[in-house]
Amino acid sequence: MSASLPRALAAEAVGTALLVATVVGSGVMAERLAGGNGALALLGNTLATGAMLVVLILMFSPLSGAHFNPAVSLVFALRRELPTRRLAPYVAVQIAGAVAGALLAHAMFELPILQASTNVRTGAAQWLSEFVATFGLVGAILCTLRARASAVAYVAGLYISAAYWFTASTSFANPAVTVARSLTDTFSGIQPGNVAAFVAAQVVGAVAALVFFAWLLAGGGEQSHCTRLKRPSERNSKVPAAAAASHFSVDER
């Protein structure tokens, strides 16, 4: 038990670093190769980010919960699923790891290590996008954890892949990643002056999701919905609850 907090923090730091190295690095690679076509650049950036997110959550969730995201850690702390005293160290190493990941990407691509973004991302539509992106991410995590915990890694990766395209801000949805992306003047950057408002929108979105999905998922014990499926044959079967939970038909409650 004594070794556990250092290991959890190491997992959060290394995971967030690899996540940001992927976001920034694949943005550089994609922009270099895309010949000016923004859709192609975003496609490469999306593919790499979504894939890496699945990998990192599968790797690190048994060690630290695989948050890599202060907004997610905040939600779990508020739900008392992360001990409150762990919140500050989690957020600290997430930010430190994220910044290290951006610098690592610069080193791999022979760019100046220290940069500041000049990419303007501001305005109400951008903030709405970040609110929606983070609301959906937190909701996806909470719902999936409840019914099909083994699918969370895939859900998070697929959600972010979609959100890169359906929100106008390309879905940062993560305060630590937002801070780190202010330190790269490449495809995925955000001007430092625009960071605070993005982070605020993300936190508001995360807390709104916490409240809404707490109501939506209320009304039973763990995986309660999974045990209310219509057919008796399934209710008593030995099929894991997680498998049964995706059943389309529901009974009247």
Q: Which of residues 117-176 bind its own copies (CB under 8 A)?
A: 123, 125, 128-129, 132, 136, 139-141, 143-155, 157-159, 161-162, 164-168
By beta-carbon proximity to its own copies, the closer residue of 8 and 195 is 8
By beta-carbon proximity to its own copies, the closer residue of 55 and 192 is 55
Q: Are 105 and 95 in contact (CB under 8 A)?
A: no
Contact partners, residue 199, CB within 8 Å, separation at least 6: 175, 178, 179
Q: How far is the CB of 120 from its own copies (least distance, A)?
A: 14
By beta-carbon proximity to its own copies, the closer residue of 40 and 192 is 40
DSSP string, the chain: -TTHHHHHHHHHHHHHHHHHHHHHHHHHHHHHHTTT-HHHHHHHHHHHHHHHHHHHHHHHHHHH-----HHHHHHHHHTTSS-HHHHHHHHHHHHHHHHHHHHHHHHHTT--SS--------SHHHHHHHHHHHHHHHHHHHHHHHH-GGGHHHHHHHHHHHHHHHSTT-----HHHHHHHTT--STT---GGGHHHHHHHHHHHHHHHHHHHHHHT-SSSTTGGGGG-S-HHHHTSSS-HHHHTT-S-----
By beta-carbon proximity to its own copies, the closer residue of 10 and 92 is 10
By beta-carbon proximity to its own copies, the closer residue of 192 and 202 is 202
Is there binding between residue 112 and its own copies (CB under 8 A)? no
The footprint of its own copies on residues 10-49 (CB under 8 A) is: 10-11, 18, 21-22, 24-26, 29-30, 32-49
Give the separation between CA 14 and CA 104, rounded to whole angstroms. 12
Residue of 114, 116, 214, 239 that binds its own copies (CB under 8 A): 239
Q: How far is the CB of 203 from its own copies (least distance, A)?
A: 18
Give the separation between CA 101 and CA 177, rounded to whole angstroms. 9
Closest CA to 132 of 65, 64, 201, 196: 201
Is there binding between residue 110 and its own copies (CB under 8 A)? yes
Region near its own copies per CB under 8 A, out of 6-14, 113-121, 186-194, 199-207: 6-14
Q: How far is the CB of 100 from its own copies (least distance, A)?
A: 12
Q: How far is the CB of 241 from its own copies (least distance, A)?
A: 6
The footprint of its own copies on residues 176-235 (CB under 8 A) is: 215-219, 221-223, 225-226, 230-231, 233-234
By beta-carbon proximity to its own copies, the closer residue of 192 and 212 is 212
By beta-carbon proximity to its own copies, the closer residue of 161 and 192 is 161
Contacts with its own copies: how many residues (CB under 8 A)? 126
x/- string (CB under 8 A) for its own copies, residues 53-82?
Answer: -xx-xxxxxxxxxxx----x---x--x-xx
